Structure 1
Amino acid sequence: MSYADVNGLHLWYETHGSGRPLVLLHGGYGAAEMFAPVLPALAQRRQVIAVDLQGHGRTADVDRPLRYETMAEDVAALLRHLDLSDVDVLGYSLGGGVALRTAIQHPGLVRRLVLVSTPCRRQGWYPEVLAAMAGQDERVGERMRGTPPHELYARIAPRPEDWPRLWAKGGDLLRREYDWSAEVAALTVPTMLVYADADSIPVTHMAEFFGLLGGGRRDAGWDGTDRPASRLAVLPGLTHYDIIAAPALPAAVLPFLTHEVRAPQ
């Protein structure tokens, strides 16, 4: 477990295993511990670098808003601090947005990208999910005291009293409109999208996102010659909230990370 001083942030990260680096970026109001159920399977094959993003987990907040773009800059700065490039990045939900922005803003640092339960535009969430996001603020954070995410935060955060502040800043982030469709369509980083079949994101948006990456446009051919570099996995019997702990997740992701894929045309 270590800290890196990047962009005015005391950024926490930990490493497990050995091999080609795989960066893990957690979901909102969480920490690297979100990956605990799948970490052993991933660390058997890769050097895993799990990060606590700004204001989350062991990384104290600083005087700037929470934004996908600035958190992506933090991840890029950490990779440079560690003298790493050509790494794989896996992000879940909020962390998926950060992972996607990292690949968009710093494509030379990312070899392969895995996005778990992540849309490419804000309107990619179900309407009821957007409504819940819009209502997140300090009062909601207070009501979340005593829940497992709060108990973890209270145990590991440098300033546990910042819990309501995290919800206020998180709500501000989640209310902001974004649409990265054009930038996604221009990506050259081989990308895998992973969703639950009962996710917070409709299947129509999963297909839209996959199409932007070059997937779902034609038959791959009997020998797979026309298979796109992108991948799409919809894991059965799961939701947005338990996909991150499912054994099916590393089982789906590791072949994409370890096998050769054709570069996008």
Structure 2
Amino acid sequence: MSYAEVNGLRLWYESHGTGRPLVLLHGGYGAAETFAGILPALAERRRVIGVDLQGHGHTADVARPLRYESMAEDIAALIGHLGLADADLMGYSLGGGVALRTAIQHPGLVRRLVVVSAPCRRQGWYPEVLAAMAEQDERVGERMRGTPPHQLYARLAPRPADWPALWAKSGALLRREYDWSAEVAALTVPTLLVFADADSIPVTHMAEFFGLLGGGHRDAGWDGAGRPAARLAVLPGLTHYDIVRSPALPAAVLPFLTHPAGAPG
């Protein structure tokens, strides 16, 4: 467990296991600890680097807005701080957006990209999810005191009193419109998209996102020669809120990280 001084931020990270590096990026109001249930399976095969993003977990907030783009710069700087030529990235929800932006902004630093339960444009969420995001502010944060996310934050945060401020900044982020479709279509980083079949994102957007990456346009052929570099996994019986704890997630991710791009499996 350590801190990296990057971009005026003391970014907390921890490392487990050995092998090719895999950086894990958690969801909103979470921390690297969110991945505890699947960490052993990942760390058996990889050097897993869990990160607490700006204002989350052990990483104290700083005087800048929460933005996918700036958090992506933090991750790129962390990869450099660790002396890595490149790394695989896996991000969930908020962290999925940060991982995607890192690949867009620094494609040379990302060997493989895994985006879990995150869209490539804001309107990719269900309307009721967007409505809930639009209401997030300090008052909602106060009502969330005592919930598991608040308990996690109170236990890890250097300044637990910043909880309402995290909700204010997160709400401002989640209300911002974005559409990264053109940048996604230009990506060459091999990418795996993972969703739950009862996700906060409709299946139509999952297909759209996959299509931007070159998937779903044609039959792969009897020998798989037409298989795209991108992969899509829709995990059954899960939701946006429990996919990150399911053993089905590392079971889907590890083969993608291990197999050569374009190879079956």
* Interval of TM-score (by shorter of Structure 1 and Structure 2): over 0.9
Structure 1 residue aligned with 2:78:
78
Structure 1 residue aligned with 2:64:
64
Instruction: Measure how far apart 1:261 and its partner are.
Output: 1.2
State yes or no: 1:99 paired with 2:105: no
Instruction: Measure how far apart 1:129 and its partner are.
Output: 0.1
Once the two structures are superposed, what CA deviation does each residue of 1:222-251 show, in whole Å capped at 9, x if it has no partner?
010110000000000000000000000000
Structure 2 residue aligned with 1:152:
152
Once the two structures are superposed, what CA deviation does each residue of 1:162-192 show, in whole Å capped at 9, x if it has no partner?
0000000000000000000000000000000
Matched residue type, 1:131: A
Matched residue type, 1:170: S
Runs of 4+ in 1 over 4 A off after TM superposition: none
Task: Write the mapping of 1:179-258 to structure 2, written as runs, cut at 5 A.
Answer: 179-258=179-258
Matched residue type, 1:149: P
Matched residue type, 1:97: G
Contact 1:85–1:110 (CA<8 Å) still a contact in 2?
no
* Inter-partner Cα distance in structure 1 for 2:246 and 2:106: 30
Task: Write the mapping of 1:120-159 to structure 2, written as runs, cut at 5 A.
Answer: 120-159=120-159
**Alignment partner of 2:108: what SS?**
helix
Unaligned stretches of 5+ in structure 2? none
**Alignment partner of 2:91: what SS?**
strand
* Inter-partner Cα distance in structure 1 for 2:6 and 2:261: 33
Structure 1 residue aligned with 2:88:
88
* Inter-partner Cα distance in structure 1 for 2:262 and 2:80: 27
Once the two structures are superposed, what CA deviation does each residue of 1:132-166 show, in whole Å capped at 9, x if it has no partner?
00000000000000001100110110000000000
Matched residue type, 1:114: V
**Alignment partner of 1:49: what SS?**
strand
Instruction: Measure how far apart 1:86 and its partner are.
Output: 2.3
**Alignment partner of 2:211: what SS?**
helix
How many pairs align? 263
Matched residue type, 1:72: A
Instruction: Measure how far apart 1:85 and its partner are.
Output: 2.3
Contact 2:79–2:86 (CA<8 Å) still a contact in 1?
no
* Inter-partner Cα distance in structure 1 for 2:9 and 2:140: 26
* Inter-partner Cα distance in structure 1 for 2:100 and 2:83: 21
* Inter-partner Cα distance in structure 2 for 1:134 and 1:51: 26
Instruction: Measure how far apart 1:15 and its partner are.
Output: 0.1
Instruction: Measure how far apart 1:36 and its partner are.
Output: 0.4
Contact 2:23–2:51 (CA<8 Å) still a contact in 1?
yes
State yes or no: 1:172 paired with 2:181: no
TM-score, normalised by the number of residues in structure 1: 0.99
Structure 2 residue aligned with 1:109:
109
Matched residue type, 2:152: L
